[in-house]
Structure 1
Amino acid sequence: MNRMTTQEVQEHIKNNKDASIIDVRETEEVKAGKIPGAVNIPLGLIEFRLQDIDKSKEHILVCRSGNRSGMATNILESRGYNVINMDGGMLDWDGPTE
């Protein structure tokens, strides 16, 4: 599984304005704040929303602590997606939120 720290993700976003961030937390959790531009696809819906995830792009997966995004990373990797898990999740995130 590919991983990035929250600091590495912040640098990646700075250098790649079109970076794809997928937040796999529940909708209620995301209301408290998410990484700007992140798309919310709750973990429980990830397999039902595969058509909404561009297989040709790299995606960084985010959750509260890194556990659910790790599960989503495994699911998507097994289906041929290029994905990276953000270790530490939003608990460790000190960048901007919306």
Structure 2
Amino acid sequence: MSEPDLVETIIVGGSLAGLTTAIALAARERPVTVLERTRGRTQRGVAIGLGRTDLDAAVGTELSTRVIEHLGEDSLRQGPYPHPWWNVYAALRATAE
């Protein structure tokens, strides 16, 4: 690895965007740390749309598959209905960990 590859990325905030970014960087073998001040469930959102194509584009097919395993395969077959925010968050967090 060259020296720039050794620079660690620190992400402040482990919500959906922070976790997705961390997973995407880790998939590219970049060292990353997520700083989050909360420990438990602090849901603020109600629901979010999630599709396999968008998830693949954000984090790659392999990690997308891991997120879906945590979320549940049936969750992507539910049609146009949004996913509960907490379920998406929990799946991203489990994958990031």
TM-score normalised by length of structure 1: 0.25
Q: Which has the higher strand share?
A: 1
Bigger CA radius of gyration: 2
Q: Which has the higher contact order (CA 8 A, sep 6+)?
A: 1
TM-score normalised by length of structure 2: 0.25
